Amino acid sequence: MFLINIFLTCFIAGLLGTFTPCTYPLIPITLTVIGIRNYDSNLQRFKIIISYVFGMVLLYTVLGIIFAYAGFLAGSALQSPWINAFLFLLLSTMALNLIGIISWNFPLSLVQRIVKFKIVNSNNNVFLMGLVAGIIAFPCTGPVLTGILTMILEKQNPILGSFLMGFYALGMGFPFLILGTFSSFINKIPKSGPWMNSIKLILGAAMIFTSLHYGKLSFNGFRGYITDKTIMQQVAEAKAKNKYVILDFWADWCRLCHELDKKTFSDPRIAKILREKYVVIRIDVSIGTDEYEALQDFYNVVGLPTLVLENSRKKITGFIGPDQLLQLLSETSRPVPGK
């Protein structure tokens, strides 16, 4: 269900992108260039326009795979607060461009060359037209596209990346598919106007919300760099006070980490035993400091969330319910700390 919602969101994002001022006026022009009215039946028109849409889908699908592999190769570098700060600035700038606070467009000469290329080759290269269709509209669709590609870069999953971008392209191509197949609808679509700015504002607001996520990661990352005490110093202080230590490896993007906080750590029984006998040291692995990376290697942290009961060196990877954790904490806290 979670994946279906993401795919549907990408499809809607692509669909809304076609109703922006950079794209919407091009729909009837593109269909005219293709010569869609020259075909006699809806089936013939569908066959020709589906080639155009498939061209868009292929381009964006390949782009999604490339960005997923790029994220995989970058590895832990993507956890750097500097990278998150860059993504925050990039997405914020894109959002401001989409809303209209700042403005940039492709050079007119480049746009004219692309249009000329499409007209000259329209009879035999409808599929190729779909491949280059997104270039002219990039000033409007680019901000949303950048947000999706950033998520793909972070997830590092080529299959997921290809599907996300594929659904985004299907959303962009859907109006072309409907209007191209049923060409009589072309004269009935609303004219371009101020209503399209509302679409830009909606997409821009979504982009700003996404940029804030990376801004938060960046802030937490830089805060981790200037912490007064190292993790091991905190461990030593806790043991000196005869407290047991739990190292909680987590990340803001980790769904199971949030479930652990909500369902397990919030349990009154767990809160009581932690308050009386334990010190919980939370380690946000998305920060990516040298110390945090060394701790992940030392404790062999391979997944999130991971709880390390430092005194007994027991390790729990993944979600654990309150009953199971309570039993484990009770067993661990029986010996005298440090002995």
pLDDT digits (tens, 9 = 90+) for 238-261: 888 889 999 999 887 788 898 999
CA gap 207, 58 in Å, rounded: 24
**Who contacts 339 (Cβ-Cβ below 8 Å, separation ≥6)?**
none
User: Phi and psi of 17, rounded to 5°?
Assistant: -60, -30
Q: Residue 113 above 60 pLDDT? A: no
Average pLDDT over residues 180-205: 72
pLDDT-derived band of residue 41, with 50, 70 and 90 as boundaries?
Answer: confident
Contacts for 310-315: CB closer than 8 Å, 24+ residues apart: 310/235, 310/244, 310/245, 310/246, 310/247, 311/239, 311/244, 311/245, 311/335, 311/337, 311/338
Closest CA to 299 of 285, 286, 319: 285
Average pLDDT over residues 203-221: 76
A 10 A CB-CB count for 46 gives 16
pLDDT at 339: 42
Average pLDDT over residues 116-124: 46
pLDDT at 122: 45
Predicted TM-score (pTM) of the model is 0.55
Closest CA to 35 of 243, 257, 183, 242: 183
User: Phi and psi of 229, rounded to 5°?
Assistant: -120, 145
pLDDT-derived band of residue 91, with 50, 70 and 90 as boundaries?
Answer: confident
CA gap 251, 235 in Å, rounded: 20
Domains of the chain (ranges; CATH) run 2-224 (no CATH), 231-332 (3.40.30.10)
CA gap 231, 218 in Å, rounded: 20
pLDDT at 326: 92
One-letter amino acid identity for 172?
A: M
Structure tokens at 192: 């371009």
pLDDT at 123: 42
Structure tokens at 10: 């990408």
Mapping DSSP to helix (H, G, I), strand (E, B) and coil, where does residue 247 land? strand
E strand or H helix that includes residue 209: helix 195-225
Q: Report the share of the chain in percent with pLDDT over 90.
A: 16
Query: Would you say how long the chain is, in residues?
Result: 339
Average pLDDT over residues 163-179: 90
Closest CA to 192 of 19, 56, 310, 67: 19
Q: Residue 237 above 80 pLDDT? A: yes
Query: 100, 197 in Cβ contact below 8 A?
Result: yes
What's the N-to-C CA distance of the chain in angstroms?
48
pLDDT higher for 110 or 1? 1
Q: Residue 224 above 60 pLDDT? A: no
CA gap 228, 170 in Å, rounded: 51
User: Phi and psi of 307, rounded to 5°?
Assistant: -110, 125
**Alpha carbon of residue 185 to chain centroid:** 35
CA gap 48, 71 in Å, rounded: 36
The DSSP bridge partners found for residue 279 are 245
